[in-house]
């Protein structure tokens, strides 16, 4: 089992919103290991951030993580994942790119949406949301 974690957008959004389970989980693993983000996740998070104090706090928060860029190899693998799982499982390009990053860099994905990643075997769902 990999000790290197790639954190998906949903967990980070919960953390930034103050969801206690997300805060508890991330604070615990950030102390023990390096955590990674895909540039896709960074883009998704910036899409929801307001200018001003919120943006500044977010940018400081991002410094805790190592951000993984997308190169041609990851783009190829992500595109193939999208082609293979898009119609059958509803996998979008963003999730396909995140999955490619996880696979190629031998990371373990931390997400609340396991069904978005049918191509991955080693996924951690750190908590579930109660409705």
- In which band, very low, low, confident or very high, does the pLDDT at 106 lie, cut at 50, 70 and 90? very high
Pairwise CA distance, residues 92 & 95, whole Å: 6
* 130 within some domain: no
**Per-residue pLDDT at 38:** 97
pLDDT, one tens digit per residue, over 28-57 is 998 888 899 999 999 999 999 989 888 888
* 129 within some domain: no
91 close to 116: Cβ distance less than 8 angstroms? yes
* 41 within some domain: yes
Percent of the chain with pLDDT over 90: 80
Residue 40: give the domain boundaries.
Answer: 5-124
Residue 1 scores a pLDDT above 80: no
**Per-residue pLDDT at 131:** 56
99 close to 120: Cβ distance less than 8 angstroms? yes
* 131 within some domain: no
Q: Exposed, middle or buried by CB within 10 Å (0-12, 13-18, 19+), for 30?
A: middle
CATH number of residue 9's parent domain: 3.40.50.1010
Pairwise CA distance, residues 59 & 10, whole Å: 17
Say whether pTM exceeds 0.75.
Answer: yes
Q: How many domains does the chain have?
A: 1
* 91 within some domain: yes
4 close to 106: Cβ distance less than 8 angstroms? yes
112 close to 101: Cβ distance less than 8 angstroms? no
Q: Which residues of 40-63 are buried (b: 16+ CB within 10 A; e: fewer)?
A: bbbebbeeeeeeeeeeeebeeeee
The structure tokens 């919103």 sit at 17
């Amino acid at each position: 089992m990999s000790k290197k974690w790639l954190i998906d957008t949903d967990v980070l959004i919960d953390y930034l919103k103050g969801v206690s389970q997300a805060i508890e989980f991330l604070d615990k693993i950030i102390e023990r290991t390096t955590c990674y983000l895909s540039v896709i996740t960074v883009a998704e998070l910036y899409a929801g951030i307001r200018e001003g104090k919120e943006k500044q706090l977010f940018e400081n928060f991002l410094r805790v993580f190592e951000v993984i860029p997308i190169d041609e190899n990851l783009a190829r693998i992500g595109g193939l994942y999208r082609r293979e799982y898009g119609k059958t499982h509803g996998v979008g390009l963003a999730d396909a790119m995140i999955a490619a990053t996880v696979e190629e860099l031998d990371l373990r994905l931390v997400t609340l949406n396991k069904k978005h990643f049918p191509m991955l075997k080693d996924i951690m769902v750190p908590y579930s949301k109660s409705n």
